[in-house]
Amino acid sequence: MENNNEWMNDPELKNIDRAKLDFLNQMFVQSTTINSSGSQAERQKKMMAFLLSLGKLSKENNISFQNQEVELIFSVLKKYSTSDDIAKMQKISSFFRSQ
Which pLDDT tens digit goes with each residue over 6-60? Answer: 889 999 999 999 999 988 888 777 777 777 778 888 877 887 788 778 778 888 8
Contacts of 37 (CB under 8 A, 6+ apart): 43
Residue 1 resides in a domain: no
81 and 58 both lie in a single domain: no
The larger pLDDT score, comparing residue 87 to residue 18, is at: 18
- Looking at residue 98, its pLDDT comes to 53
Angle, helices 40-60 vs 18-34, to 10°: value is 160
Residue 14 resides in a domain: no
Of the candidates 29, 88, 96, the residue with the CA atom closest to the CA atom of residue 67: 96
Alpha helix ranges (H) inside 1-99: 18-34, 40-60, 67-79, 83-97
**Domain range holding 84?**
65-99
Give the other-Cβ count within 10 Å of 34's Cβ: 19
Q: How many domains does the chain have?
A: 2
- Looking at residue 12, its pLDDT comes to 96
Instruction: Judge whether 73 and 13 are in contact, CB under 8 Å.
Output: yes
60 and 70 both lie in a single domain: no
| Residue 1 clears pLDDT 70, i.e. is over it | no
Residue 13 resides in a domain: no
The larger pLDDT score, comparing residue 63 to residue 36, is at: 63
- Looking at residue 44, its pLDDT comes to 79
| Residue 96 clears pLDDT 60, i.e. is over it | no
40 and 73 both lie in a single domain: no
